Amino acid sequence: MQSHNSTSFGINRRSVLEELKIFSVVKNLPHDIMHDLFEGIVPRELKCILVEFCIRSNFFSVKTFNQRLVNFDYGQLELGDKPAEIDEVSLKKPETNIRQSASQMLLLLMITPFLVVDLIPQENHNWTCFLLLIKICQICLSWQIDLNIIDYLEILIEEHHTLFTRIYPQLSVIPKMHYMVHYPRQIRLFGPLVHTWTMRHEGKLSVVKKASCHGNLKNISLTITKRHQHHLSYLLNSNNTFINRDKYDCNSKNIVEMESDVLHYIKQNTHISVSSTIFKPKSVKHSSIVYTKGSIILLGKGNLYPQFSEISDLYVIESQVIIKVKLLETKCFDNIYNSFVVEELPQTDFFLIAQVPAFPILHIRKSFAQGNNKKYILPRQFIVI
């Protein structure tokens, strides 16, 4: 029995942690949403809908999907995670999944509505199931989760699994789909699951992998250890440390004159000297969030919908970061695209960066549908309306 568990499940012995009365291997180990969702369930289900739409129903071709994928208007901060084109040959093989990294798959999941919605019937059970998966991922990626949303997550997972087994009877329910059933309980125990995922660990592992590609391979552990220590030493002895401070590029090239509207805001709302030098950096990193011109930020919740705005300029004066924004009006929530529809307002406003809620940067999305000039915002995290 022990030999069977070792070869089949990797269980060699009883964990010493089981000797603790307050610890349970079954209850106290949170699932990793990066491996469960973005390297398991999402690529599997995305392949299902592409097979259904491109091969069986022939709503559009893989070539059309790839053309839209290449020509999609990605945000500046998304270019590093731009998804790769879909291989039509591997799509027809039942034993293969779509090959993307976890970050690429996350981005592909969020932009898929804008790639295919105008090409498929609105009442499509395959697409309904996929939209449920997007909503589940949004909740799992949220930094903060209301207790009522956990109950909603339970309903979404039940609806998704029920619909999935009905429209894909030939496919089995894999263990990672079963793990999703435990997500609500684990959120109640440990908090938002995004805080316990391994995405950042994988990012750290990539640094280690790069260090192991060159140098002495006879003692690879020693090589990696030395290079890792050199890297940490560099971080600790430079401005790029672990201290959570604002980061921006301020030099003589981006010194600008004080504009009248900026001057008015500073006089009315701050104690900053108007005679100080003012810089206009290309980007600012604050609380691990990178703000750039053209990015969309969440200002808060209005009476009915969230309030968004578009960054038009960034200013740094006396180590204070001021953001100038163009206000956006949220018109409605579009269930087809699972996104908020926004319109640009003529008004502008200013905020100190510390006043902006900590929320991932957003981007304006546009549909490929002819005649549809609406601007959409699809947050990665769930926003309570």
**Is pLDDT above 90 for 221?**
no
**pLDDT on residue 26:** 76
Are 370 and 262 found together in one domain?
yes
Beta strand 289-292 pairing with 283-286: antiparallel
Are 31 and 150 found together in one domain?
yes
Domain membership flag for residue 383: no
User: Is the CB of residue 365 less than 8 Å from the CB of residue 378?
Assistant: yes
Domain membership flag for residue 90: yes
Dist CA 130 CA 136 (whole Å): 10
Backbone angles phi, psi at 325, to 5 degrees: -125, 150
Domain membership flag for residue 385: no
Domain membership flag for residue 66: yes
Domain membership flag for residue 39: yes
Give Cα separations from 208 to 238, 285, 340 (angstroms): 20, 24, 40
Mean of pLDDT over the chain: 87
Note down the domain range covering 231: 200-212+221-243
Q: The domain spanning residue 260 has which CATH number? A: 2.30.30.490
Residue 385 tokens, joined: 């309306």
Q: How many C-beta atoms lie closer than 10 Å to residue 174's C-beta?
A: 12
Cβ neighbors of 237 (< 8 A, separation 6 or more) are none
Are 92 and 136 found together in one domain?
yes
Are 266 and 235 found together in one domain?
no
Q: What is the pLDDT of residues 297-313, one digit of tens each?
A: 999 887 789 999 999 99
Are 301 and 234 found together in one domain?
no
**Is pLDDT above 70 for 186?**
yes
> DSSP assignment, residue 85?
P
Dist CA 293 CA 212 (whole Å): 37
Give Cα separations from 17 to 1, 10, 68, 70, 352 (angstroms): 22, 17, 50, 49, 47
Cβ neighbors of 7 (< 8 A, separation 6 or more) are none
Are 230 and 370 found together in one domain?
no
Are 208 and 145 found together in one domain?
no
Domain membership flag for residue 382: no
**199-208, 245-254, 326-335, 340-349, range with the lowest pLDDT:** 245-254
Q: What is the DSSP secondary-structure string of 134-170?
A: HHHHHHHT-SS--HHHHHHHHHHHHHHHHHHHHH-TT
Q: Which residue has the higher pLDDT, 144 or 256?
A: 144
Are 133 and 259 found together in one domain?
no
Helices (H), ranges, the chain: 2-9, 33, 42-50, 62-71, 88-91, 102-116, 125-140, 147-167, 175-181, 183-190, 199-211, 220-236, 260-269
Are 228 and 171 found together in one domain?
no
Structurally, the chain folds into a number of domains equal to 3
**pLDDT on residue 208:** 75
Are 66 and 177 found together in one domain?
yes
Dist CA 97 CA 179 (whole Å): 19
Are 29 and 158 found together in one domain?
yes
